[in-house]
Amino acid sequence: MISIKAAIRLLRPKQWTKNIFVFTALVFSKKLLDPDSALLSLRAFFAFSLTASFVYVLNDVADRERDRLHPKKRFRPIASGEITLRSAFVIAAILLVLIAAFVYGLDWRFVTCLGFYLVMNLAYSFYLKDVVLIDVFVIAIGFMLRVIGGAFVLDVARSSWLILTTMFLSLFLGIAKRRGELIALGTQTSGALNTRKVLEHYSVEFTEQMTTICAAGFIFSYALYTVSDRTVKMFGTENLIFTTPFVLYGVFRYLYLLHKKMLGENPTEVVLTDIPMLLNFAAYGVAMLAIIYLG
């Protein structure tokens, strides 16, 4: 009998928050209030979320021995023995059926995008996560595919600046996660290296240099998007530039938590548990929607 709580933990629904990038096209194409478009984006969101959960299941199966050496990951359902391998494969099969149901009838380009996301993440789980730098670029490409897929499902144009912004943001978070892992685990013990082999190729100093570059790229890309001719023409205003301070604060706050609070091993947890960060997100969302939809 499969434990429902253990199964939910295996699917990692908290990580589904990463898939809100699918809604980027919905918001910035001014289709947020269109019920049909919102439904399509919602289906795309769940398709990506269930696909991610499918990958998590297979990843936990493949990494069960490594996870048992990790101070936190050893409590994962498969590593701890709460869920057997047979049950894990049953859950994976159910996820595939649900994914097929959600993508049925959607734009073929979205289905292709989702398929590439699945194949890439499986390659990451079984090999690419141990390849230095490629590991974080795979994470970045995954976020870019969410944005592109969100545009495909609605059949709307994609902004190159938004895709670049997404790439720099995801690289920033991915590299910051590596730094957090180095701090949390330490690279001087064999156990730490066995949990994520690629960490032996990183150092705290190296990750800090890369986070600085990616943070700057993210901020500049977003600022240039807000004042680009296409953006101004589409929204009929240059006021989107006034949302940039929220982006700056978000980056600075994350760097503060990374360096002063020694957080960062789990970016999703950092973002969802820090009150100032949540308030900043809320303020940004209100300002952005007001400018786009109310002029």
Residue 188, phi then psi, degrees to nearest 5: -95, -5
Nearest to 47 by CA among 25, 16, 26: 16
CB 265 within 8 A of CB 176: no
Task: Pick 107 or 266 by higher pLDDT.
Answer: 107
Q: What is the pLDDT of residues 207-225, one digit of tens each?
A: 999 999 999 999 999 999 9
In angstroms, the CA 44 to CA 263 distance is 31
Q: What is the pLDDT of residues 97-130, one digit of tens each?
A: 999 999 999 999 999 999 999 999 999 988 898 8
What average pLDDT does the segment 82-91 reach? 91
Checking if the pLDDT of 194 tops 80, the result is no
What is the fold of 10-155? Tetracycline Repressor; domain 2 (1.10.357)
CB 16 within 8 A of CB 52: yes
Half-sphere exposure of 200 (CA within 13 A, CB side): 12
What band does 44 get if pLDDT is binned at 50, 70 and 90?
A: very high
What band does 193 get if pLDDT is binned at 50, 70 and 90?
A: low
| Predicted pLDDT of residue 265 | 64
**Of 55-64, 69-78, 139-148, highest mean pLDDT:** 139-148
Domain ranges (residues) in the chain: 10-155, 159-295
